[in-house]
Structure 1
Amino acid sequence: MYRRNLLAAALALPALARPALAQAVPLPVVASFSILGDMVRQLGGSRVAVRVLAGPDVDAHTFQPRPADAAAVRDAALVVRNGLGFEPWLDRMLRSAGRKGPVAVASTGIRPRAMADDGHGHGHGHAHGQDPHAWQDLANGRSYARTVAAALAAADPAGAGHYRDRASAYDARLAALDAWVRERIATVPEARRKVVTSHDAFGYFAAAYGVEFLAPQGISTESEPSAAQVGRLVRLLKQQNISALFLENMANPATLQRLAAEAGVTVQGRLYADALSPPDGPAPDYEAMFRHNVGLLVPAMAG
């Protein structure tokens, strides 16, 4: 009898142990827009299941959440947002969804860049005139990653070592990418480092890497440039022989195409600023976005 009971207990052990040995259900995480969604995936790997609200090629400035998004926000173990006034719609969603869990603000600890008002109301499309596009400086991107990794570890303490290891590897890649960007920009004479883009999303890039960006559309993709603004840019393009003229992936091309026609220059391509491309596009992740953008900017600036 004793032997039969011992055998039965031994046979039952694998079945009892199986749930403890099985991989945990992935941590449900909601990211406000595609760039943060990619960071969460890079840092979390198989331990996270990421839902992105404003996805690839979606303008996070004008994003309209759906009821299913509110449910995802309510039920997620962690919500990750940019902050700096980038997602005002998310404030309303968090309230309406009755969100009780943690919300990580990726830009925590970053000194925001002030958005100057040009006299036409641009520069105030975000909270207190702050420029929210801090990820356009890779040093800030590394800070974002540290903040997000810490939030993941707090939400999933059993995976803290996993997130720490992935964060270390990711940080090394971003540091190397930052050095590569600086090397590529340095090949362009300082006088030629001038670019015109659809809207003013590259202020942090400009400050970090020594490139001057001009935009007829101001900080928000919702704003429309005045005829006087377009006229000033046309004169500037002609006077300074600027050849780097770019669309952005989710901006209305009409204004920039008009500007190009009046200045007699060619639009050089499409940059990614506020959103990644779909997986089959040229900027499916944060690192690829920088490589794509710099790969277009350098030869265009050089003329």
Structure 2
Amino acid sequence: MRRFRLWLICVVIAAAVAPVHGQERVKVVASFSILGDFVKNVGGDRVDVTTLVGPNGDVHVYDPAPSDAKTIAGARLLVINGLGLEGWLPRLLQSSGGKAAIITATRGIAPLKVGSDADPHAWQSVVDAKIYVTNISDALAAADPADAGVFRANARDYLTKLDALDGEVREAVAKIPPSRRKVISTHDAFGYFAAAYGIEFVAPLGVSTESEASARDIAGIITEIKRQKIPAVFLENISDPRLIRRISAETGARVGGTLYSDSLTGEKGDAPTYIELVRHNIKALTATLAD
């Protein structure tokens, strides 16, 4: 009898903690790691997230594998950045033959322009990241109406964290003397950060890592560093460090460490989540520029 009662108690407890819905988790594919992190924060345990371009991957130059088409074919929702970031995506979608709903997470964001190109790196502004999260929450709610309340509650919690993060960044930048708020990065990935927080970035490459810097471009940047007395240059986790190290050697500008632009790291890295990415970047910037 005692065993039966113990078994019954276990059954009741298991029933209490089990999901009340009997649905399968929503299968979501995100084009790259930062979007995948947003989806995980909004979807929680109600989603199954696969990321095409994984940690430390370069979404600009990604070469899809045949298995990616199969992954998309089995998804209910595909989350992309848009603004020209995933140039390889149209052919992949065609080959997948899938019917996943596609959500462009930058919808509603006014894109910055670099020459004639749209700057796709809107997540670098935490204010714009909140728009990403809202769009993803709406898309998940449409894909799985039964769990819409859960998605919206998760999004509210995450947006509160992003509000606090935005405040952290503004407080940190305020400690940097205005005359020192200038740095060199590898490619033009920080325009939205610059517009939101007032640190000027100069980059030898354009908005895509596919571009190449000419000798004239590099000479111009070296002249600019010397003229403006730009104190630091920064590496990026997705880019070849040799160009930045060369610029540092020719100008005497300090290498201030690595910034994370288009990709998270693995779990044991410096930036396994979006919030940790932003915190790492602002810590690296302030540690160098506030001196």
> TM-score, normalised on structure 1?
0.88
Q: Which residue of 2 aligns with 1:147?
A: 135
What is the match of residue 136 of structure 1?
124
2:93: which partner in 1?
94
Q: In 2, distance between residues paired with 1:168 and 1:21?
A: 22
Q: Which amino acid aligns with 2:92?
A: M
Deviation at 1:22, TM superposition (A): 6.7
In 2 relative to 1, CA 269–23 (structure 1 residues): closer, same or farther, beyond 3 Å?
farther
The separation in 2 between residues aligned to 1:107 and 1:146, in whole angstroms, is 10
Instruction: Tell me the equivalent position of 1:229.
Output: 217
- Alpha-carbon separation, structure 2, partners of 1:26 and 1:90: 25
Letter of the structure 1 residue corresponding to residue 35 of structure 2: L
Structure 1 residue aligned with 2:69: 70
- The number of aligned residues is 277
Secondary structure in 2 matching 1:267: strand
SS in 2 for 1:238: helix
* Residue equivalent to 1:193: 181
Q: Percent identity?
A: 47
CA contact (8 A) 1:242 1:301 kept: no
Q: Provide, for residues 99-154 of structure 1, a one-character-per-residue CA deviation record: whole Å limited to 9, x for no partner.
A: 222101100011111112xxxxxxxxxxx510000111111100000000110111
Find the aligned partners of 1:108 and 1:251 in 2 and give their Cα distance.
Answer: 28
Deviations 1:166-191 (A, max 9, x none): 00000111011101101110111211
Give the aligned partner of residue 26 of structure 2.
Answer: 27
Correspondence 1:103-114 to 2 at 5 A: 103-114=102-113
> Aligned ranges for residues 1-303 of structure 1 at < 5 Å?
21=20, 24-116=23-115, 129-303=117-291
Where in structure 2 are there 5+ consecutive unaligned residues?
1-11
The corresponding residue for 2:4 is: none
Measured against aligned partners, the alpha-carbon deviations of 1:227-272 in whole angstroms (never above 9, x if no partner) come to 1221122222223222221010010111111111111233111100
1: CA distance, partners of 2:155 / 2:85: 24
1:25-60 deviation per Cα after TM superposition (whole angstroms, max 9, x unaligned):
221100000000000001111111110001110000
2:78 and 2:19 map into 1 onto residues whose CA distance is 27
SS of 1:195 mapped into structure 2: strand
Q: Distance in 1 between matches of 2:145 and 2:195?
A: 37
Closer/same/farther in 2, CA of residues 241 and 98 from structure 1, 3 Å limit: same
| Aligned counterparts of 1:205 and 1:20: Cα–Cα separation in 2 | 40
Gaps of 5+ in 1: 1-13, 117-127
The residue that corresponds to 2:9 in the other structure is none
CA-based RMSD: 1.8
Q: Report the Cα distance in structure 2 between the residues aligned to 1:257 and 1:160, rounded to whole angstroms.
A: 49
Larger radius of gyration: 1
Question: Following TM superposition, by how much is the alpha carbon of 1:299 offset from its aligned partner in structure 2, in angstroms?
Answer: 2.2
- In structure 2, what residue type is equivalent to 1:194? K
Q: Structure 2-normalised TM-score?
A: 0.91
Question: Which amino acid in 2 is paired with 1:24?
Answer: Q
In 2: Cα distance, 1:104 partner to 1:20 partner: 27
Tell whether the 8 Å contact from 2:76 to 2:99 is kept in structure 1 after alignment: no
SS of residue in 2 equivalent to 1:112: coil
- Measure, in 2, the Cα distance between the counterparts of 1:79 and 1:240: 44
Deviation at 1:213, TM superposition (A): 0.2
Q: Which amino acid aligns with 1:232?
A: G
